[in-house]
Amino acid sequence: MVFFEKLEDIYNKYKSLSEQMADPAVIADSAGWTKIAKEQSEIAETAEKYAEYKKAEGSLKSTQEAAKGEADPEMRALMEEEAQSLKKQLEKIEGELKILLLPKDKNDERNCIVEIRGGAGGDEAALFAAELYRMYLGYCEKHRLKTEVVDLNQTELGGVKEVVFNVSGKGAYKLLKFESGVHRVQRVPETESQGRVHTSTATVAVLPEAEDVDVEIRDEDIRVDVYRSSGAGGQKVNKTETAIRITHFPTGIVVTCQDERSQLKNKDKAFKVLRSRLYDYYSSQNRSEYDSRRKSLVGTGDRSERIRTYNFPQGRVTDHRIGFSLYSIDTFMQGDIDQMVEALTVAEREKQLAE
């Protein structure tokens, strides 16, 4: 069976790498040892789980053979019961091994860039976008992920037209990648005098952060503009020109950053976002594919394109991609979204297994 042949290859490779790591000649070569150790660690979980499977399989065979030769009916019954227990254990381990062999997203362990924008619904959409922003900050804090604002465009009512922020830490992209799409809210806005429920939206895009080596940005391909930062309502918040706008001519991508008082810091942040957007762009084959992918990430903000609905009157949050609902909207909006993320992760895994 190809499945077990692959596991046997991984197991043998793991043993070979472990032996190399114990070789004095390899230990003396620090760079070489580190490379081998990294390679070994990448397959360690699968190899160790397969070793657990082989051990349980050996125990099952010996128990079944012993039961065949056992004359005492009571002892034979106990051995057969033990064999059934080992069979269930093998099934469980086999299921875990199938998951471990699924192709991994190469971006899962990267940092990421999150972009949130108010969609349909005017001021209410901007207020909802601000709440989503606070929700993700709470979620990131819970998972000890560091967040850093790149660009924040607020409204006079305290809403958010657009916010772009960087999330760094182990598995940042893996934890947030399912959040891309149109988020729809249904509730009575504070500005509604007649108590009618309104529907508004905000869009979320999550991009893996690109490393310097992933994307080449040539000086002749960009224009960097500096201008004064502005706040809610358009008022100037800085008397000096510290805000940065970078335009990338070949792709038409434009990035702005005005969060820092330092022009240099804003420039560094803007380039970080530009690299990530270009990484996303060049991962696609062409402009139309990029536009299609971008639309699949955030849609147009139309109410009908929602991936998730936040229904405040019913206290319900529903993810329409998997038909999963939670009735804990208050804690959810505080960043307690782990159940939803886990459900989406499991659904994605089951889809991969089915394919």
Could you tell me if residue 146 is inside a domain? yes
At 111 the pLDDT is 93
So what's the pLDDT on residue 228? 76
Residues 143 and 245 placed together within one structural domain of the fold: yes
- Read off the tokens for 26: 């390899």
- This prediction's pTM: 0.71
Per-residue confidence (pLDDT) for residue 291, from 0 to 100: 55
| Domain-located, residue 354 | no
251, part of any domain: yes
Do 36 and 177 belong together in one domain?
no
Domain with 293 in it: what CATH number?
3.30.70.1660
Asked whether residue 84 is domain-assigned, the answer is yes
Q: Are 76 and 117 within one domain?
A: no
Q: Does one domain contain both 189 and 334?
A: yes
Tokens matching residue 148: 């850093």
What is the reported pLDDT for 105? 80
Give the end of a domain, one of 54, 79, 100: 100
Q: Which residue among 100, 121, 144 closes a domain?
A: 100
Number of folded domains in the chain?
2
Answer with the one of 33, 66, 100 that is the final residue of a domain. Answer: 100
Same structural domain, 156 and 281: yes
Residue 355 domain-assigned? no
Same domain, 86 and 144: no
Residues 26 and 174 in one domain: no
185 and 65 co-located in one domain: no
Task: Specify the pLDDT at position 234.
Answer: 46
State which residues form the domain around 254: 112-349
**CA–CA separation, 144 and 313 (whole Å):** 32
Q: How confident is the model at residue 69, as a pLDDT?
A: 86
pLDDT tens, position by position, for the chain (355 residues)?
Answer: 688 889 999 999 999 999 999 999 989 998 889 999 989 988 999 999 999 999 999 999 999 999 988 888 889 999 999 999 999 999 999 988 988 888 888 888 899 999 999 998 889 999 999 999 999 999 999 999 999 999 898 988 889 999 999 999 989 999 999 999 999 999 988 766 677 888 999 999 999 998 877 788 999 999 999 887 665 544 444 445 788 999 999 999 999 988 777 888 889 899 999 999 998 888 865 555 555 555 555 444 455 578 999 999 999 999 999 999 999 999 999 999 999 999 999 899 888 887 7
How many residues in the chain? Answer: 355
Using CA atoms, how far apart are residues 283 and 134, in angstroms rounded to an integer? 30
pLDDT at 12: 94
Q: What pLDDT is stored for residue 263 in this prediction?
A: 85
Query: What is the reported pLDDT for 301?
Result: 46
Strand 181-187 and strand 243-248: the pairing is unpaired
149 in any annotated domain: yes
CB atoms within 10 A of CB 112: 25
Exposure string for 231-253, b = 16+ CB within 10 A, e = fewer: ebeeeeeeeeebbbbbbbeeeeb
Task: Give yes or no: residues 176 and 253 share one domain.
Answer: yes
Say yes or no: 279 and 140 in one domain: yes
Is there a domain that residue 106 lies in? no
Q: Are residues 207 and 81 in the same domain?
A: no
Distance CA 282, CA 277 (A): 9
| Interstrand relation of 160-168 and 198-208 (parallel, antiparallel or unpaired) | unpaired
Q: Are residues 23 and 121 in the same domain?
A: no
